[in-house]
Amino acid sequence: MQKDDCLFCKIAKGEIPSTVVYEDEAVLAFEDINPMMPVHTLIIPKDHYDNIADNVPADTLGAVFGAVQKVAEIKGVVADGFRTLANTNDHSCQTVHHLHVHVLGGAQMNDGNPSK
């Protein structure tokens, strides 16, 4: 199931171009257009779910998170490490309401603790 007015559904259908990193029958991984790190790849299910709390079937979650290691290997960030992030709804700054996971890496990150 896809939504006609969803940016990521349009990318999954090939209606909007993207730089594809990985694709299989269930997911699509592509480069973020506003990267926050040298590696910033998004992984989406091809079916539409608003976010990770949208009653997503276990097999879909498995496909999305199963693609994380493949993307990290393709992007060459496994050895040094990477961050995986899934924002959920507006308070977490989710800007596109289609479940997606960010794979971030390629440079040293801080731990987010302002006391350091």
- Per-10-residue mean pLDDT for the chain, 116 residues long? 89 96 98 96 97 96 97 97 95 93 94 62
| Closest to 71 (Cα-Cα) out of 7, 16, 19 | 19
Write down the catalytic residue from 40, 48, 97, 100. 100
The pTM for the full model equals: 0.93
Listed in sequence order, the DSSP H helices in 1-116 are 7-12, 58-75
Residue 1: its pLDDT value, please? 78
Domain boundaries, the chain: 7-79
The two three-digit tokens of residue 43, written as one number? 């992984």
Residue 29: its pLDDT value, please? 98
Residue 93: its pLDDT value, please? 87
Cα–Cα dist 65/51, whole Å: 14
100 catalytic, yes or no? Answer: yes
Cα–Cα dist 13/55, whole Å: 22
CATH architecture of 7-79: 2-Layer Sandwich (3.30)
CA 73 to chain centre: 15
Residue 2: its pLDDT value, please? 79
Residue 68: its pLDDT value, please? 98
